Amino acid sequence: MNARWFARVVLLGAFAACGLPRSARAAEPAGQEPGRHAPFSSPGEKTSMFGIDAEGAKFVYVIDRSGSMGIDGDRPLAAAKAELLRSIEKLDTVQQFQVIFYNERPRIFNPTGVPGRLAFGTDANKAQVRRFLETVKAEGGTDHEAALAAAIHMRPDVIFLVTDGDDPKLDARQLARIERIGAGIIIHAIQFGTGPPQPRNFMAQLARQSAGRHVYVDVSKLPAAEAAK
């Protein structure tokens, strides 16, 4: 054994004694299965919308702005905007988010200048959302699938969908396609309406198939402050 080879053996033995990895491969945290992400633990990694609590690092808010969201003096759309602002205020600067308003086509918040890029939860980005909301009006028809597909393409942990579920509704084929391309993404569905909710509808199915929650909001019962623009 020559001196150089002996020194190398001693050095590798010292690395092993200190618990250092023998290769450049990143070590997995103790007790964690290879390839799996550590569970979220920071209290700053939670937010909520219309009573639905959600946990994650990346959120996309998909909000209907079609003509039917402008009934009763824009009451539904105004309530959605107000709740959106409350939700993003709970995000910290290491979390990311995006906002999509849609009618026949998606309109995506774009603070970075790169379409579709998630924004961090900084005060500056939150202020830009407020300015963005001032330009959003209720008008036009509805295409739920295009907006959801755009959100899924961003690969968030959670999608909040807010809509009155107006026609054209998602059919079984569309729901199956969303389930396939959105595998692993939780979709929470918030449905606006007046009067008693329908027990079965496409929004309930959308939430159920993604392990999300479906809640119904009776717009006529919202406090006046909730509907303020």
Q: What is the pLDDT of residues 62-84, one digit of tens each?
A: 999 999 999 988 999 999 999 99
What confidence score (pLDDT) does residue 153 get? Answer: 97
Give the DSSP H/E element, type plus range, for residue 120: strand 119-120
Place of tokens 């200190």: 18
What confidence score (pLDDT) does residue 4 get? Answer: 44
Domains and CATH numbers, the chain: 56-227 (3.40.50.410)
How do 96-102 and 119-120 pair as beta strands? antiparallel
Whose CA is closest to 212, among 149, 157, 144, 145? 157
The model's pLDDT over 171-228, given as tens digits with 9 standing for 90+, comes to: 999 999 999 999 999 999 999 998 888 767 999 999 999 999 999 999 888 765 444 4
Q: What is the pTM of this model?
A: 0.79
What confidence score (pLDDT) does residue 224 get? Answer: 57
Cα 120–Cα 182–Cα 133 angle in degrees, nearest 5: 40
Place of tokens 């003096």: 73
